[in-house]
Structure 1
C-alpha cells in the first residue's frame, strides 16, 4: 500500500490553523445570517410602526378625520414622507377612505392594499402588500380622538425592494468581514507556522521524534550518570545510571522538576549558572560514594539556559585504571623480555655458526641458572604474584638500558589481604622506579655505574618501600614542586608520575620522605599500612 503524501510542518500548521479559522468563520456566518439579517427586517418593521404611531398621535390627524378635512392631513403626511425617507403615509377613516397618499390623485378613494382590518378593529399590525406604488412593508396603527373613539388608521409604508436591498447589503457586509478574517487568519497561520519552524531549528516532527528517541537511547546506554537542569537549577533530565548512583547514595523518589540544591547542594550549580564557568573532574562524596563529577553550563544563542552534570563512581574508574596499569606493566615486561631473549638468541646463533658448542652449552646453562636464580629470589622475597611479575618486568627494562636494578636481600613483601592496596603500591613503586630510570638514562656521569636499589620491609602490618639511585639528585629548591601535577624538568607533557605517586600514598594514608641533593643521588622512602596474609616479619 503506497504511503500518503507527507506534508512539512509549516504546511501542516498553516492548513490546520486555516481550516480552524474558516470553520469558525462559517459558524459565525450562519449565526449572523440567522440572527442579524432578520434583525435588519425587524428594525425596518419597527421604523414603520413608530412613524405610523407618531402620526396617529398628532391632534391634526384626529381633528382632520372628524372634520373630514384631508388637505391639512395630506400636507402634513407629505412632509413626513419626505423627511423620513419612506414610501408613503396613508391616513384612512373607518370606511377605509384615504385622507392622504403619496400620489394626491388617490386621496378620497378607498384604500386598496388590504390588511387594514386589524387596524380598524383597534389593533396595530405589520404586513406586506401590493398597492399602486408597488410592493411594500406596511405598519398599521389606529387613530383615536380625545375621548377614545377610533376615527381611522395610519399606514406607513416602506418599499419592500428597499428592505431587501438593505438585507442584502448587510449580508454582503458580513461576508466581506468574514472573508477579511479568513485572509488574516490564513496569513497569521503561515506566519505562525514559519515562526514555529524557526523555533525548532527547521526540523520536521519526524526528525524531532527520531532525535528524541536516539537521545533517550543514548542517555540510557551511557555508563555515566547524567543530570540536566534548567536556568533555575531545576532538574529536567536524569538518566538510568544517574538514578542508580543516586539511589545507592540514599537519594530516592521522583527527582524531576525538583531543585537540585534540595538533594545535592554540594554541586553549587547556582554559582555555575551565574558565572558560566564549569567544573571538570571534581571529586565529591555523596552518601558515602566517591564520585568524579563534571558540571558545565549549557548556552543557546550565547545565553545560559541550564547546565549538564556528568558523574561516575570513582571506584569503577580506579578499577579500570588499575586494569590498564596492569596491562601496561605486563606489556613492558613482555617487551623487555622479548628484547633480552632476542639478544640471547643472537649470541646462541653466533656461537652455533662458529661451532663453539661447549661454550654454547656453558652459556645456556649459565643463562638458565641466572634466570632461575633471579626468579627464585624474587618469588621468595615478594610473595604477591602481581608485584613479583611487575618487578621482573622492571629488572628486564633496567638491564636493557644498562642500569643495575637490585632488590635488597633483606626485602620481604607478603601477599596483600586487600588487592586494592597492592595496585596502589604498584603505582607507587612503578613511578619511583620509572623516575629513577629516566634520571639515570639522561644525566648520570660518564663511566659511573648506574645503580638503583629497591627495598621492601614489612613488620606489624606496616610496610616501608625504599627506592634509591646514584643519579644527579634533586635540587633542594625543587623538592616541594616535584609532586605538583604538570611540573617537570624534562620538558612539556610530563610531570604526571610523581603526582600520581603522591596521590596513591595519600589514598593508602601513608607518609613519604625524600632525601636528595645535587650530584649525590635520590632516596624516596614510603611508609604505608599493609595487611599481609601471613604473620611473617623481619
Structure 2
C-alpha cells in the first residue's frame, strides 16, 4: 500500500516590506557607525603618535638650543645643574622623560635619579652625525616614541660648533594608548548615540511605512499591483482618480473611451480643466461634494457620473466612476416611442369599438347610408396619413416613428402632418437608433411646446409671449438635399423660442419648465448630429411657432440613391 507523503509544514509569512527595510536600515546604520568608530580609532591612534613625536621633537630642540644647557654641560658637575632643569621641562611639556647625555651616551639626567650615570638605552648614531631623528624604542621606562637631538657649542663665523652633548625626549606607548583610550571612549559614546538616534529614526520611518503599506511584504505589494492593473484595464466602466489639485492621478481605458480621450495623449498629471471636457462635466468632476448618478454628455456619449471625495483630515482627491448610457438612452427613446404607440393603439381600439357600436346601431335603425359615411370618414383620414408617410419615407424606422408619434400626438389633441415636400429612401449610412434619437426628440419637443401650460416661457419654439394657435399642429419634413444631406425639420405652432435662449437651448439640463424634468432631449439631438458631422439650428417662425432643423451628411453611395426634392 502506498503511504501518502506528509504535507510540508506551512511556510511562515515573510516579513512585511516595512520590517525588511527596518532590518536592513538598522544593519546599515550599525555598519556605518561601527566603520566610523574604527576609522576614528585608527586615525586617532595615528594622530596621537604624530602629536607625541612633534611634542618630543619640540622639547629636545628647545633644550638643545638653551644657553643654560650649554653652560651646564661645560661645568664640573653637569648633572647637578641639568637634572632639576630637565625635570621642570618634563613636567611643563607633558613628555614622559627628558634625558641629557654626553656624546658617548652617558646620562646626566633621568626621571629616575638612580639611572643617572648609566648608559642611554637606544640609538644615538644619527644624532652624533648632526641629525635629529625619531624612533620607537623600548627603554628603561618601556616602549616609547622618542626624539634625539645633538647639543652643539656656540659657533663662530657662521660655522656650527662641535657636538658637546645629546638630548632625548619621549612619550611612552602606555601614555599614548591611554590618551587614545580616552578619545575612543568619547568616540564610542558618540557612535552609540548616533546608532540609537538612527535606530529610533528608522523605526519611526518604517512604522509610518508599515501603516501606508498595511503591513504587506514586497511580494504581496507586487501581486496587489498586478491585480490592480489587471482590474483597472478589465472593467468596462470608467474609473478616474483625481488628486487634491484636480490633476488626473489615474485613468483606465474605459474612462478614456467614455471621455472621448482614448488617443495616444497622456492624461495622467494633467488638470481636468485642460482635458477639453464640457463645462458641466468639468464642474461635476471638480465639485467638493459627492455627485450621484448625474447624466452628462461628452463628445459622442451619454455618461452617468458618480464622484466621491477622498478625505483624510484634508481633501486628498476624488474618485470618479463613469458608466456608458448612450445605448440605454437610445433604447429608452425607442421604448418611449413604442409605449406611446401602444397607448395610442389602445385608445384607438377603444374608440374603434365605440364607432363600431355606433355603426351597428345606425344599421339597426335602417340608416345604412349614414352608417357607411360615419364609418369611412375616420378611416380615410387615418389611411391618408399612412399612405402619405409610407410613400414619401421609405426608411422603415422613420416611417414607423412618424406613425407612432402621429397617433400619440392625436391623443394629446395635436395634429402631426408630413410636409408634402418630404421624400427619402433608405438611409443605410445612419443607424436607426440615431434617427429615432434626433427625430423623436424634436417631435416630442414640438408636441410639448404646443400642449404646454400658457404661463411662462416654452421649450418649443416663435416670439415669446404670443398665444399658441387655435389648432395645435406639428409639421415634419424629411428629405434628402442636393448637397447630399438628410434634412430633418420639425415646425410647431407653439409660443416660440424663449428670448435670448440661443445655444443654451441645446445645453444639458437647460429647460424652460422647472420641476418637470427633461433638459436633455435637445442636447442629445445636438450630440448625435455632431457625431455624424451634422448641424442643428432653431429659428422663430413668422406669426407664431418655431422650427428646428437638423442636417446629417449622407454617405456618398447612399446619398446618390436618394430621391432628391
- TM-score relative to the length of structure 1: 0.64
**Structure 1 unaligned spans of 5+:** 349-361, 441-449, 518-522
Unaligned runs of 5+ in 2: 1-9, 155-159, 289-294, 357-370, 455-469
Hey, what's the Cα distance between the residues in 2 that align with 1:338 and 1:268? 42
Identify which of 355, 370, 383 aligns with 2:394.
383
- What is the rounded CA distance, in whole Å, between the counterparts of 1:151 and 1:139 in structure 2? 17
State yes or no: 1:40 paired with 2:53. Answer: no
Q: 1:126 to 1:201 in 2, by over 3 A?
A: closer
Counterpart CA distance in 2 for 1:477 and 1:139 is 114
Q: Which residue of 1 aligns with 2:189?
A: 176
CA pair 464-512 structure 1, distance change in 2 beyond 3 A: farther
Query: 1:333 corresponds to which residue?
Result: 341
Name 1:428's counterpart in structure 2.
442
Change in CA separation of 1:215 and 1:143 when aligned onto 2, cut-off 3 Å: same
Distance 1:516 1:419 in 2: 35
Residues 246 and 148 (structure 1 numbering): CA distance in 2 closer, same or farther, change over 3 Å?
farther
Task: Look up the SS of the partner of 1:86 in the other structure.
Answer: coil
Change in Cα spacing, 1:309 to 1:93, as seen in structure 2 (3 Å) is same
Alpha-carbon distance between aligned partners in 2 of 1:267 and 1:154, rounded to the nearest angstrom? 95
1:389-538 correspondence runs (5 A): 389-395=400-406, 397=408, 403=413, 407=417, 413-415=423-425, 417=427, 419=430, 422-423=435-436, 424-436=438-450, 455-456=475-476, 461=481, 474=495, 484=505, 486-489=510-513, 491-494=515-518, 508-509=535-536, 512-514=539-541, 535=563
* 1:195 to 1:166, Cα distance in 2 relative to 1, 3 A: same
Work out whether residues 135 and 160 of structure 1, in 8 Å CA contact, stay in contact via their aligned partners in 2. yes
2:414–2:447: 8 Å Cα contact kept in structure 1?
no
Q: Deviations over 1:353-388 (max 9, x none)?
A: xxxxxxxxx9xxx99x96995896353454331122
After superposition, the Cα gap between the structure-2 partners of 1:529 and 1:201, relative to the gap in structure 1 and judged at 3 Å, is same
Q: How far apart are the structure 1 equivalents of 2:354 and 2:278?
A: 64
1:44-443 paired onto structure 2 within 5 Å: 44-70=52-78, 71-107=80-116, 109-111=117-119, 114-118=121-125, 121-122=128-129, 124-131=133-140, 136-146=144-154, 148-193=161-206, 210=224, 214=228, 218=232, 321-334=329-342, 337=345, 377=387, 378-380=389-391, 382-395=393-406, 397=408, 403=413, 407=417, 413-415=423-425, 417=427, 419=430, 422-423=435-436, 424-436=438-450
Cα offset, 1:37, TM superposition: 0.9
Structure 1 pair 126/491, CA: closer, same or farther in 2 (3 Å)?
A: closer
Q: Secondary structure at the match of 2:151?
A: strand
> Residues 449 and 492 of structure 2 are in contact (CA less than 8 Å); yes or no, is this contact kept in structure 1?
no
Give the stretch that moved more between structures: 507-516 or 179-188: 507-516
SS at match of 2:40: helix
**Aligned-partner Cα distance in 1 for 2:104–2:58:** 23
Sort the Cα spacing of 1:325 and 1:60 in 2 relative to 1 into closer, same or farther, 3 A: same
Q: Is the 8 A contact 1:136 1:160 kept in 2?
A: yes
Distance 1:493 1:50, change over 3 A: same
Q: Distance in 2 between matches of 1:404 and 1:238?
A: 49
Q: Is the 8 A contact 1:52 1:139 kept in 2?
A: yes
| Local SS of the residue matching 2:425 | coil
After superposition, the CA RMSD in angstroms is 6.0
**Inter-CA distance 305–428: structure 2 relative to 1 (3 Å threshold):** same
Distance of 1:33 and 1:396 partners within structure 2: 104
CA deviations on 1:282-313 (whole Å, 9 max, x unpaired) are 878xxxx9999x9x9x999899999999999x
Deviations 1:82-106 (A, max 9, x none): 3223333222223433322334444
Q: Aligned-pair distance for 1:40?
A: 0.7
Distance 1:82 1:408 in 2: 128
Q: Please give the alpha-carbon distance, in whole angstroms, between the structure 2 residues aligned to 1:94 and 1:527.
A: 128
Aligned residues of 1:414 and 1:534 also touching (Cα < 8 A): yes
Aligned-pair CA distance for 1:78: 2.5
Structure 1 49/256 Cα, relative in aligned 2: closer, same or farther at 3 Å?
Answer: farther
**Aligned pairs, how many?**
476
